Amino acid sequence: MANTPGAIPEQTTRTVVPKAPLLKRLRGQRQLMFMSLPIVAYILVFSYYPIWGWVMAFQNYSPAKSFTQQEWVGLKHFKFLLTDDAFLNVLRNTIAMSVINMVLGFATAIIFAILLNEIKHKFYKRTIQTISYLPHFLSWIIVTGIVASSLSVDGGIVNVVLMKLHIIQEPIMWLSVPEYFWGIVGASHVWKEVGWNAIIYLAAITSIDPSLYEAAEIDGANRYKKMLYVTLPGIKSIVIILLIMNMGWILEAGFEVQYLLGNGVVVDWSQTIDIFVLKYGLQIGNYSLATAAGIFKTVVSITLIFAANSISKRLGEDRLI
C-alpha cells in the first residue's frame, strides 16, 4: 500500500468512457438535477451570498450608511491585524489549541475504539460506550461549569484528589496559570468528545474482514499484533478522510470553551480569533476589523485543507477533493 522510496507508484487504471454532450447528460440525469436544486439554492444563499459582506473588510464600515457612502480604506485592517502583538498571540493560541484538540481528539478516539473493540462482553461494551458518549450531548456552558468547579481551589475534585495522593501540597489555581490553559481545554475536549468520535471508528472496525484476523492468528499474531497490523490499517482510510475534513476546521479552535473558561490572567494563552473578533470587532462596533479577521481565518483554512488533501494523495490514500 504505502510507497517505499524508489518504488514505482502504482498506476490507477480507469476505463475511459466517451463523454456524451453536456445537454444530453443533463437531460439523462434530470431527476438527480432536480433533487439537487434545493441544496444548491441553500448553499448559494447561505454560503456564497454572505461572501458579499467581505467588502466590509476594505472599508471603515458603518451600518448607518449605504454602500456608496462607505469610506474605503484598502488593506488597513489587515495591516493592523498582522502588526498587532495581541493578534499574533491570538493566532498562535488558535493554531496551538486546534492542533492539540485535533491530535488528542484523533489519538484518544482511535485508541478508545480499538480498546473497546477488544471487549467481548456485549453488556460491558455497550455500557462503556454509552457512558463515554453522553457528555457529547451537554452544551459547552455546562461542561465549562463542570470543569471550573472540578478545578476550583475551594473543594474542587482535582485538587482534592491530588492532595489526598500527596502529589501536591496545597490546592493549585488551575485556571489562573496561563501555561495550563491549553491543557485544560484539550482535556475538556477529550472528556466531552472521545466517546462520540470513537463511534465512526468502531463502525469502520466492524467492516474489517474477520478472515484477516483468522489468518493473522494462524500466523501466530497475539492480541496486540492483531490490533497493530490488522485493525489499524483497516481503519486507515477513514482516519485520513476525517483528518482532511477536520483540517478545514483547524482555525475553529472554538469560542465557547475559551470564552467561558478564560479570564484576564490567562488572556495571553486563551484568546482565540473568534474572541478577538468579538472583543475588538462586535463589542466596539468595529465590523470591518472583525470581517478582516474572519477572511484571514477562511484563507488559512482553505490553504490547509488543500495541503492536507495533496499530502493524502501522495500517501496514495483516498482524497476528498
Partner 1 sequence: MGGLKKKKLWGSVSLVLALSLALAGCSGDNEKATTKDGKEVLNITAFIGTPNQAPAKDNRIYKKIQDELGVNLEMEFLVGDLQQKLGVMIAGGDFPDLITADTKLVSAGAVIPLEDLIEEHAPNLKKHFGKDWNRMKDSSDGHIYWLPNYGVYTGEFISNYYSGPAFWIQKSILKDAGYPTPKTLDDFTTLVRDYAAKNPTIDGQPTIGFTTLASDWRTFPLLNPPEHLTGHPNDGGVVVDDSGVATVFADKDISKRYYKELNNLYNEGLLDKEAFVQNYDQYLAKISSGRVLSMFDQHWNFQAGEDPLVAQGKIGQTYVGFPLVYDTSITDHYLDRPVINLNNGFGISKDAEDPVALIKFLDKLMDEKYQKLLSWGEEGVDYQVNEEGRFYRTPEQRTEQDDPAWRLVNKAEGFYAAAPKLEGTFEDGNAIGAINQPEEFYDNLKPEDKELLDAYGFKTWSDFFSPAPENPVYYPAWQVDLKEGSDAAVANKQMTDTSLKFLPKAIMSKPNEFDNIWTEYVDAYKKIDVKSYEDRINEQLKWRIENWSVK
Q: Least CB distance from residue 30 to partner 1, whole Å?
A: 9
Classify residue 164 by burial, with Cβ atoms within 10 Å: 0-12, 13-18, 19+. Answer: exposed
Phi and psi at residue 110, to the nearest 5°: -65, -45
Measured from the CB atom, the residue of 101 and 288 that comes closer to partner 1 is 288
CB distance 274 to 255 below 8 Å:
yes
- Decide: 251 and 297 in contact? Cβ < 8 Å: yes
Least CB distance from residue 290 to partner 1, whole Å? 8
Q: For partner 1, which is the closer residue by CB, 234 or 262?
A: 262
User: Do 267 and 175 touch, CB atoms closer than 8 A?
Assistant: no
- Work out which of 222, 263, 303, 310 binds partner 1, going by CB under 8 A: 263
CA distance 179 to 311: 32
Stretch that binds partner 1, among 157-165, 243-251, 261-269, 297-305 (CB under 8 A): 261-269
**Nearer CB in complex with partner 1: 119/177:** 177
Based on CB atoms, which residue is closest to partner 1, 65 or 313? 65
- Does 69 bind partner 1 (CB under 8 A)? Our answer is no
**Distance, CA of 180 to CA of 147 (rounded, Å):** 13
For partner 1, the binding residue among 125, 136, 279, 319 (CB under 8 A) is: 279
Share in percent of the chain as helix, strand, coil (round to 5)? 75, 0, 25
Residue 268 sits in the site that holds partner 1 (CB under 8 A): yes
Q: Could you say which residues in the range 135-174 bind partner 1, by CB under 8 A?
A: 148, 152-154, 173
- Binding residues among 29-48 for partner 1 as defined by CB under 8 A: 31, 34
State which of residues 285, 307, 313, 321 lies at the interface with partner 1 (CB under 8 A).
285
Q: Which amino acid is at 92?
A: R
State phi, psi for 220 to the nearest 5 degrees.
90, 20
Query: Cα 1 to chain center, whole Å?
Result: 27
Q: Can you give the binding site for partner 1, defined by CB under 8 A? A: 31, 34, 60, 62-65, 86, 148, 152-154, 173, 175-176, 263-265, 267-268, 278-289
